[in-house]
Amino acid sequence: MTVTNALWALVAVAGVPLVLGSYLFAVEAVLRRRTARFARRVRPWLWLAPALILLLAFLVYPALSTAVLSFLNANSTHGVGFANYKYIFTDSNMLIVLRNNLVWLVLFTVVTVVLGLLIAVLGDRVRYEGAVKAVIFLPMAISFVAAGVIWKFMYQFQPAGTAQVGTVNAFLSAVSSGFKPQAWLFNKSQNNGALIIVGIWMWVGFAMVILSAGLKGISVSLVEAARIDGAREGQIFFSIILPLLRSTITVVATTLIITVLKIFDVVYVMTNGNLDTDVIANRMYKEMFNYQNFGRASAFAMILLVAIIPVMILNIRRFGKSGV
């Protein structure tokens, strides 16, 4: 840490709001000279201009550029039409990658939402709810890479009969006597599930917290009234609580879907995509950085973009409707 660095940091942290503030001040000064109607029409665009320019430069332009690159060859020297996409949708290895993303999408989202809901509902009824929520939310504080490293240790394998160093194998061996230790990450039938469990472990806290907040927003009198009318707990949950939670569940589900489509770190750290665990983001990374095939990497990126669009439209429509 040197004096020059601290100074630069200060300049950056104080300077950016200062610059923006003075820009807005200048805009207002200019608009005051014009008619109120003109000012009203133009003001939103002028205020948004810095953000819009940044968005255009760092979001729109790269997206368009990637779209163009996906139709070019590896070093982007000449066009290849749909060849990159054809490769992705016909090559047998690529189909496994797409299948894996689908499995992640369905399993991760559904299990996380269900578990989060379960913990939120059950936690609501106990006095130590705060402690439970804190513990379950803790994994959200670490990165996917850290989670990957932790779980890599937990999934470690030693042959049957020797001391188990991996938590999962050790626990299962202690609990059930005939259990044969498994190399969870290296069995084609288990490794995807093992990776998805890591993802679920990380994000259950998020689902639980949001759903718990939604749950607490349901007025107690409704539930009390239902109980008085003789409704069973199950009926109360499925017919009253769940419908009222619908928008909250949608929020959680869409966030989870957006997260899972991008899943990379867990796969990269734990198996590097070997043995049929590869996902689109990991493939995109390899094509881009290891193999320098920009056409194919861009095609992968475009597929992810297209897959996200329905979710985004849903999100935006919901933002428009309620204030959530």
3-class secondary structure per residue, 215-228: HHCCCHHHHHHHHH
Q: Does 143 bind other proteins (CB under 8 A)?
A: no
Angstrom distance (rounded) from CA 47 to CA 52? 9
Beta carbon of residue 159, minimum distance to other proteins (angstroms, whole number): 4
Please spell the DSSP secondary structure of 75-86, one letter per residue.
TSSSB-TTHHHH
3-class secondary-structure state, position 55:
helix
Chosen residue from 66, 250, 293, 315 binding other proteins by CB under 8 A: 293
Chosen residue from 44, 177, 289, 317 binding other proteins by CB under 8 A: 289
Q: Which is nearer to other proteins, 66 or 293 (CB)?
A: 293
Q: Which is nearer to other proteins, 137 or 157 (CB)?
A: 157
Q: Does 6 bind other proteins (CB under 8 A)?
A: yes
Binding to other proteins (CB under 8 A) within 171-210 occurs at 181-183, 185-188
Q: Does 13 bind other proteins (CB under 8 A)?
A: yes
Q: Does 35 bind other proteins (CB under 8 A)?
A: no
Computed on alpha carbons and rounded to an integer, the radius of gyration of the chain in Å comes to 26
Q: Does 272 bind other proteins (CB under 8 A)?
A: yes
Residues 152, 269 contacting (CB under 8 angstroms) = yes
Binding to other proteins (CB under 8 A) within 72-131 occurs at 73-75, 91-93
3-class secondary-structure state, position 189:
coil
Give every CB contact of residue 159 below 8 A, 6+ residues apart in sequence: 181
Residues 196, 108 contacting (CB under 8 angstroms) = yes
Q: Does 286 bind other proteins (CB under 8 A)?
A: yes
Chosen residue from 60, 291, 313, 319 binding other proteins by CB under 8 A: 291
Residues 303, 88 contacting (CB under 8 angstroms) = yes
Q: Which helix (H) or strand (E) holds 324?
A: none
Angstrom distance (rounded) from CA 312 to CA 199? 21
Chosen residue from 44, 81, 159, 178 binding other proteins by CB under 8 A: 159
Chosen residue from 70, 156, 248, 255 binding other proteins by CB under 8 A: 156
Q: Does 292 bind other proteins (CB under 8 A)?
A: yes
Query: Would you state the structure tokens that stand for residue 110, as one six-digit string?
Result: 């559904």
Instruction: Note the Cα 195 to chain centre separation in Å.
Output: 15
Beta carbon of residue 37, minimum distance to other proteins (angstroms, whole number): 33
Q: Which residues bind other proteins (CB under 8 A)?
A: 1-2, 5-6, 8-10, 12-14, 73-75, 91-93, 156-159, 181-183, 185-188, 268, 272-275, 285-286, 289-293
